[in-house]
Amino acid sequence: MSVLLRDIKKSYGAVQVLPPLSLDIGKGELIALLGPSGCGKTTTLRIIAGLERADAGRVEIDGIDVTELPPERRGLGMVFQHYAVWPHRSVAENVAYPLERAKVAKDEIAKRVKEALGLVHLDIYAERRPHQLSGGQLQRVALARALVGRPRVLLLDEPLSNLDALLREEMRAEIRSLQRRLQMTTVLVTHDQEEALAIADRIAVLNAGRIEQIATPAEIYRTPSTAFVAGFVGGGNVLAAESDGTVVRVGPASVPAPAGSPKGNVHLVVRPEEIRLDANGVAMPVLERLYLGDRVELRLDCGGTTVRAMVPARGSDAAVPGSQATVSFGSVTVLAR
């Protein structure tokens, strides 16, 4: 294991942010801590970094107990949400700083700074001042500075949240390919489920300081283990339903219960794209129709509960507010209520 958290507790005054939390992160793995704001993901990251002290528990990095070590002695790299690029140092001076602190020889510093700037495609900006750079470029400086010291673990605190949509997708891909190439153990904190799904090896979904589920992106998406995960990731419909073990009923609709699913009062989880327009399906009133180009989002009244359906735009013209749409459910997950 590369990073190991054991029974980490943290409170601010009377507010408990982390009930005992444990987490193992494998070598070379990119793990995303995903959750809404205030879920404890940033606090967890800062405890790994040593910027916050846990009230109790143990932090290990590469098998060494670092719980008592200050951040400067943990051998980490970190990219901050607002970049935290030092405005009074040039790009090269920013990137050189971790090496200066590590007392690396001058010519070696020059070589490695060049290398690191090359990694993030900023070679020609070495002598620029931060105020001459764009947000995306500052992000790359921060990344180069975090990587230059060859850290044991790379920490990313919402690194893409301040970039515009296009740049965000580009940087996302770049971070992922860099991380793969360097085999760098990486912890990414994000509230953006799409970002987590796109680049993480594993995702830990946090809610109120607890890990609701920790699994690969595909597992998280396909088989959420709690209603919270189902709702937070992928915007799934979480419907109060009843199951007798063979059939799950919700409003006018019924679907076959997956094998081994719980009985009685249950949550039926249906992804919006698993609700299809189907002439043989159940009729539901259309409440709203949102046109998204290739797809259409429909809001349907499923026995008093609103459900979101994502259907191909082609062939959905008849489903307008006030009309009835006949739909069927595809693959579903059933969770105990």
Partner 1 sequence: MMKKPSAHAILTAILTPSLFVFVGIPMAVLLAKSLVDGPAVYLDAIRVPSNRNALLNTLISGLGAAAVSLAVGAPLGAALARLNIAGKRILGTLLVLPLAAPPYVLAMAWIALASPRAGWINKLAVSWGLSSDGNPLVDIYGMPGIVWVLGLSLYPFVLLPTRAALESADPSLEEAARIGGAGPIRSFVTGSLPVAAPAIAAGTLTAFLGAISAFGVPYLLGVATDRPVLVATTRIYQAMSLGAEADVRSSIAMCVLLLVLAFAATFAAERAARARSLSTKGRRPRALEAPGLTRVASFGAWAFTFVAVALPMGATVLAALTKRFADPPGPGNLTLDQFTTVLGKADTRTALFNSALLATVSATLIVVLGLAVAFLRRRGRGSPRVAAALSRVSELPYAIPGSVLALALLLSFSQEIRFVFANYVTISVSFLGTLWLLLVAYVVKYLAFGVRSADNAIVAVDPTLEEAARISGAGPGRAFMDVSLPLARPALMAAWILAFLPAATELTMSVLLAGPRSQVLGTLLFELSSYADPPSAAVLGCIALALVVAADVLLRRLTERPETT
What does each C-alpha distance from 246 to 235, 238, 257, 278 come to in angstroms?
26, 19, 5, 22
* 327 counts as binding partner 1 under rule CB under 8 A: no
Among residues 31, 54, 66, 76, the one that binds partner 1 under rule CB under 8 A: 76
User: 334, 267 in Cβ contact below 8 A?
Assistant: yes
* 51 counts as binding partner 1 under rule CB under 8 A: yes
d(CA 173, CA 310): 26
User: 257, 248 in Cβ contact below 8 A?
Assistant: yes
* 242 counts as binding partner 1 under rule CB under 8 A: no
Measured from the CB of residue 240, what is the shortest distance to partner 1 in angstroms?
Answer: 43
Measured from the CB of residue 44, what is the shortest distance to partner 1 in angstroms?
Answer: 16
Residue 198 backbone dihedrals phi, psi, to 5 degrees: -70, -40
* 72 counts as binding partner 1 under rule CB under 8 A: yes
Which residue lies nearer to partner 1 by CB, 42 or 207? 42
| 218 exposure class (CB count in 10 Å sphere: 0-12, 13-18, 19+) | exposed
Measured from the CB of residue 71, what is the shortest distance to partner 1 in angstroms?
Answer: 4
* 159 counts as binding partner 1 under rule CB under 8 A: no
Among residues 35, 77, 209, 217, the one that binds partner 1 under rule CB under 8 A: 77
d(CA 59, CA 69): 10
Report 79-98 residues binding partner 1 (CB under 8 A). 80-82, 84-88, 97-98
User: 271, 251 in Cβ contact below 8 A?
Assistant: no
Among residues 21, 40, 42, 50, the one that binds partner 1 under rule CB under 8 A: 50
Report 262-301 residues binding partner 1 (CB under 8 A). none
* 64 counts as binding partner 1 under rule CB under 8 A: no
Measured from the CB of residue 310, what is the shortest distance to partner 1 in angstroms?
Answer: 38
Within the chain, where are the H helices? 41-49, 91-101, 106-119, 135-147, 165-182, 193-199, 217-222, 227-232
d(CA 67, CA 57): 8
Rounded to the nearest angstrom, the gap between the alpha carbon of residue 172 and the centroid of all alpha carbons in its chain is: 12
Report 117-156 residues binding partner 1 (CB under 8 A). 129, 131, 142, 145-146, 149, 155
Which residue lies nearer to partner 1 by CB, 66 or 327? 66
Chain positions contacting partner 1, by CB under 8 A: 49-51, 70-73, 76-78, 80-82, 84-88, 97-98, 101-102, 129, 131, 142, 145-146, 149, 155
